[in-house]
């Protein structure tokens, strides 16, 4: 508040001071520097500073800046005109009292055949125009300053709101992803309990490792691919116990991609989707391939699995265009859209008669 007060008075002094300098310059230039010039100028400036501050107080107390534009313009005009008349009357009265009137002003005030008060009113009106122009400029600057400040504040508030909404949406998606993953894993463990209790116990250990990693990843929006792969490998090791020889796993990982940031649990979600909708529906099982490399300015992540793609998905659909196929894929498209906008790409397609491919293209972050 103190800074705004200092800023306000600084602008006041700069504005009226500039007016004084300009008037003095022209008085010297056109040889109009009368004996009472500086006295008149001082009174003029003092009244201008006082009543422009009075105008500010009236604007604040009446809440003019909070009204609609038409009312603001009308009330600014009325206020400026009224104050110009009042200040001009006081100014002329002071000049008359101290006998600082110019010759032309004295002649106007002493016109024969016309009332003294009529002449004084004409003199007041002629000086009121000068004050009206100055107060109008002052009001215009004051109005524009607050309009720009208000617009900037609204933009900042909008950005903060959008950021908050994005954060809440991401947190909501994450809250869905982890339970979704847990339920599927528990179903896998349940399938092992009667068949092989020892392996079931080992599976519980694997699950605890996965949960520990996923809980740590919830606090960030991206994690290094290497960390994400730990979760994927634990998950596939868990599923491998259930499918045994029916599940084959291949990794084709470019080591240079291991430090690339990826959304946590996203690759695991695609692998889980491949198991649930691909391998689990094949009598003879199948293969899961996890591929990570660079292509152009993108980090490419691919999950291929044995299976058939039901329905059709555009081969190069963007995240906001792709129709979600179950929660796993819809959450993937939503998260990509929230984190990268339209810069990220996601497609899922049948690459041959027996293989389905889900591919992510994540834009590389350049320094």
* Furthest-apart CA atoms within the chain: distance in Å: 123
Would you state the pLDDT for residue 324?
Answer: 39
Beta-carbon count within 10 A of 37 CB: 16
Average pLDDT across the chain, whole number: 81
Question: pLDDT higher for 310 or 156?
Answer: 156
Query: Tens digits of per-residue pLDDT, 61-111?
Result: 888 888 887 888 888 889 999 999 999 999 999 988 888 888 878 888 888
Mean pLDDT in residue range 48-71: 87
What's the rounded Cα separation, in Å, for the pair 237 and 302?
A: 19
- Torsional sign, CA 110, 116, 120, 123: negative
pLDDT tens per residue, range 207-248: 887 777 666 655 677 889 998 898 888 888 878 877 778 899
Q: How confident is the model at residue 359 (pLDDT cuts 50, 70, 90)?
A: very high
List of domains in the chain: 2-160 (no CATH), 194-363 (3.30.565.10)
Q: What is the pLDDT of residues 248-298, one digit of tens each?
A: 999 999 999 999 999 888 898 899 888 888 888 888 889 999 999 999 889
Confidence of residue 322 (pLDDT cuts 50, 70, 90): very low
Please tell me the distance from the alpha carbon of residue 101 to that of residue 45, in angstroms, as a whole number.
16
């Amino acid at each position: 508040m103190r800074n705004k007060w200092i800023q306000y008075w600084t602008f006041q002094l700069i504005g009226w001071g500039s007016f004084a300098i300009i008037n003095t310059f022209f008085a010297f230039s056109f040889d109009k520097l009368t004996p009472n010039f500086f006295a008149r100028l001082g009174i003029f400036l003092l009244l201008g500073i006082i009543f422009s501050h009075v105008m500010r107080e009236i604007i604040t107390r009446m809440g003019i800046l909070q009204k609609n534009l038409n009312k603001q313009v009308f009330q600014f005009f009325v206020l400026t005109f009224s104050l110009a008349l009042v200040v001009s009357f006081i100014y002329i009265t002071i000049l008359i009292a101290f006998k600082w009137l110019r010759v032309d002003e004295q002649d106007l005030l002493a016109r024969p055949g016309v009332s003294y008060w009529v002449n004084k009113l004409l003199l007041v009106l002629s000086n009121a125009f000068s004050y009206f122009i100055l107060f109008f400029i002052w009001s215009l600057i004051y109005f524009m300053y607050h309009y720009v400040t208000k617009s900037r504040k609204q933009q900042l508030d909008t950005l903060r709101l959008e950021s908050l909404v994005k954060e809440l949406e991401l947190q909501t998606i994450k809250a869905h992803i982890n339970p979704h993953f847990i339920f599927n894993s528990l179903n896998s463990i349940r399938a092992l309990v009667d068949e092989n209790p020892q392996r079931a116990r080992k599976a519980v250990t694997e699950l605890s490792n996965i949960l520990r990693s996923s809980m740590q990843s919830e606090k960030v929006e991206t994690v290094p691919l290497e960390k994400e792969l730990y979760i994927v490998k634990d998950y596939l090791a868990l599923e491998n116990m259930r499918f045994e020889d029916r599940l084959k796993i291949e990794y084709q990982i470019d080591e240079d991609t291991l430090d690339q940031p990826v959304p946590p649990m996203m690759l695991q979600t695609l692998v889980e989707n491949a198991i649930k909708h691909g391998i689990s529906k094949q009598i003879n099982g199948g293969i899961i391939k996890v591929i990570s490399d660079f292509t152009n300015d993108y980090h490419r992540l691919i999950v291929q699995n044995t299976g058939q793609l039901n329905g059709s998905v555009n081969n190069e659909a963007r995240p906001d265009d792709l129709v979600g196929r179950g929660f796993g894929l819809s959450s993937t498209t939503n998260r990509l859209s929230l984190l990268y906008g339209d810069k990220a790409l996601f497609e899922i397609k049948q690459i041959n008669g027996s293989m389905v491919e889900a591919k992510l293209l994540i834009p590389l972050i350049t320094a």
